[in-house]
Structure 1
Amino acid sequence: MSQVLHTPPPTQVPADDDLAALAARHGLSVSGARPSLPEYVRQLWARRHFITAFATAKLTAQYSQAKLGQVWQVMTPLLNAAVYYFIFGVLLGTKQHVPDYIPFLVTGVFIWTFTQSSIMAGTRAISGNLGLVRALHFPRAALPISFALQQLQQLLFSMGALIVILLCFGVPVAASWLLAIPALILQSTFNTGVSMIMARMGAKTPDIAQLMPFVLRTWMYVSGVMWSIGKLTKKDHLPHIVFVLLENNPAAVYIDLMRFALIDSFHSKQLPPHVWAVAAGWALLAGIGGFIYFWKAEETYGRG
């Protein structure tokens, strides 16, 4: 009597579509998937206390190993201003053509340092915190926003020294000083947006952090930190398009707005046309555009 062996039927492997439907039916989602833009904003708002605490902790720890500690927050831009004064003000004679040159220069250095530091910190926001990114689940935009907030806190800490310098050089307290508040809000929005753009680029290509100091140094030289763009525009040897680009350079716009707010000898005629509209336009373009650009790569951060 022969015995018939029956082989079991092959196991059915579910298709990918079936697995996706099964996961969705049980409320499962892809790990690290990018949420919708409104949901992403909601998650960021829910972690606002973490963002503030992280920024404050980074600011406190920044100079913890230095003997002078937080004093370096003020000393660093002041020392830079002293070097620029000697080179541009004394050797090149720029101070002879700019009223209140020291307040003019120090204000430019402090405001430029705010933008420069925000962008540099944002460039390393993801690539320099991979351990945190890979260990915890949170909206990654919290990191560049925290670093931009840290730089704003540092600027506000340094503003006390700036006010003292202005008073020592005869700049009177005026109602126009209140204009510094909206100017700083617009600049902070711009800085945060650019920081998020650079954070995404730095996450994909960490070597870009080595290139940024050269880019930022070039940007500083064309932003009127040490010299007056208004004086240059009175000359005829440059094409008109160069004047337009220099006047509407976002760094120069925010620096000039702060000079207009704080220095009585810096008049409105030295500002580019429609300066507040230009400042708001740059802030909205960088802030909203930078946020969306960063959000679109949310699921890629910390991988690879």
Structure 2
Amino acid sequence: MRRNCSQAEDTHKEADLLGVQEPITVEVNMRGMRKLNVRPPLQLYLQQLWGRRHFIVTDARFRAFRTAKSYNLWRFWLIAQPLLDATMYGIIFGFLLKTSRGVENFIGFLIIGVTFFGFLTSLVNGGQSLVQTSKNLIQAFSFPKATLVFSQSLRYLIDNLPALLIAIVFALVAQWHKPISWTVILVIPLTFLVWAFGTGLMFIVARITAFLPDFKVIISVGIRAWFFSSGIFFPLERYAHSPILYKIFSLNPGYIFLTAIRDSVLYATVPSAQTWLTLIAWSLGTFIVGLVFFWMAEERYINVHA
């Protein structure tokens, strides 16, 4: 026994002289520990998002107008850009292609269509590569990744508010001889519904492009097709002679949103109850589906390549 102990001591001394350290086994109690980047239950996920609401608002406000501020005259371009866009489309479609015929206050009709649809498409485009560009943040911290989408969508809402307000003002100025109706205030809830609808699409686009970057090409083509089929340059009633074609176009949520906003601002008309229900269904439905769709891949975003 003593001989064995002596041999063990000699072995330890030898190891110390050679600088070799013997492996040490440490038992760790795993109770109460949890893995990082694991998808939590949806209810807990929503609670975590609510707990980060102040960060979402602060981050969105900090990033707002970042693109515009890269210009020396960024305040001027906030006003001028939507007007220049409307002028360009007005010359091409209103003057050259004569789509303005039969449209009351075509200037207001066009500027509202271009500006509000531009707001919607900016939300969709904002989801492209959002996960990839936030790769460092995702790897460094454990947090609900939907925070990124909410911050981005809120940022685009802030970015577009001046353009939306200017579009409404110029649309009303273009019909200065008509009194302003109280229905203009309906633009506020309608804008919120557009934002909710666009945020739902942003969730969907953010997840798809995170794992299929090439899908951005399809999204770009789809947005252009959506742009020209939403009645931005002419009322879709011109297709009333073809009931099937008119029905297809009139089911387009982009067209329904623009029609409701134009009716409220230009034509002093309250959207019907059916229109409100349709818009609420599109907005909340897309928002909920998009959020759940994004949440289902929560644990996979850390593995996305930048």
Residue 280 in structure 1 maps to residue 280 in structure 2: yes
Counterpart amino acid of residue 124 in structure 1? S
Conserved? CA contact 2:36–2:142, under 8 Å: no
Q: CA deviation at 1:287?
A: 0.7
Per-residue Cα deviation, 1:272-301 (whole angstroms, up to 9, x for no partner):
992111111111210111010000001111
Kindly indicate whether the alpha-carbon contact (under 8 Å) linking 1:74 and 1:161 is maintained by their aligned counterparts in 2.
yes
Secondary structure in 1 aligned to 2:165? Answer: helix
- Offset from partner CA, 1:180-232 (integer Å, 9 cap, x none): 12211211111111100101011112233344222211110001111111232
Distance 1:167 1:183 in 2: 17
Contact 1:247–1:253 (8 Å) recurs in 2: yes
Q: Secondary structure at the match of 1:302?
A: helix
The answer on 1:114 being equivalent to 2:119 is yes
Tell me how many residue pairs correspond in the alignment: 279
Q: Secondary structure at the match of 2:302?
A: coil
Q: Does 1:251 pair with 2:257?
A: no
Structure 1 residue 69 and structure 2 residue 52: aligned? no
The 8 Å contact of residues 189 and 287 in structure 1, kept in 2 or not, is answered as yes
Matching of residues 141-160 of structure 1 within 5 Å: 141-160=146-165
Contact 1:247 1:272 in 2 (8 A): no
State the 1:57 CA deviation. 1.8
Does the 8 Å CA contact 2:117/2:227 hold for their aligned counterparts?
Answer: yes
Deviation string 1:97-141 (CA, Å, 9 cap, x unpaired) is: 211000000000111001100000112221222122222222111
CA contact (8 A) 2:99 2:234 kept: yes
Deviation for aligned residue 1:160: 3.0
- Any gaps of 5 or more consecutive residues in structure 2? 1-27
Asked whether the 8 Å contact 2:196–2:284 carries over to 1, the reply is yes
3-state DSSP class of the match of 1:94? Answer: coil
Q: Give the aligned partner of residue 207 of structure 2.
A: 200
Question: Matches of 1:125 and 1:75 in 2, distance apart?
Answer: 28
Choose which of 28, 32, 38 in structure 1 pairs with 2:37: 32
Q: Are 2:225 and 1:218 equivalent residues in the alignment?
A: yes
C-alpha deviation, 1:50, in angstroms: 1.1
**Structure 1 residues 153 and 227: CA distance shift in structure 2, 3 A:** same
Normalization by structure 1: what TM-score?
Answer: 0.85
1:262 has 2:268 as partner = no
The ranges of structure 1 where at least 4 consecutive aligned residues each deviate by more than 6 angstroms after the TM superposition are none
Query: TM-score under structure 2 normalisation?
Result: 0.84
1:182 is aligned to 189
- Matched letter for residue 251 of structure 1: G
Superposition pairs of residues 18-29 of structure 1, within 5 angstroms? 23=30, 25=31, 27-29=32-34
AA aligned opposite 2:150: I
The farther-off stretch of 83-92 and 142-151 is 142-151
1:64 CA displacement: 2.3
CA–CA distance in structure 1, aligned partners of residues 78 and 302 of structure 2: 31
Stretch moving more, 204-213 or 194-203:
204-213
Asked whether the 8 Å contact 2:196–2:287 carries over to 1, the reply is: yes
Q: Which residue of 2 aligns with 1:191?
A: 198
Whole-angstrom distance in 1 between the partners of 2:108 and 2:56:
33
Distance 1:60 1:53 in 2: 14
Unaligned runs of 5+ in 1: 1-18
CA contact (8 A) 1:127 1:206 kept: no
Partner residue of 2:241? 235
The CA RMSD measured in Å over matched residues stands at 2.4
- Evaluate the alpha carbon distance shift between residue 52 and residue 104 of structure 1 in structure 2; reply closer, same or farther with a 3 A threshold: same
Contact 1:248 1:272 survives alignment (8 Å):
no
2: CA distance, partners of 1:54 / 1:102: 36
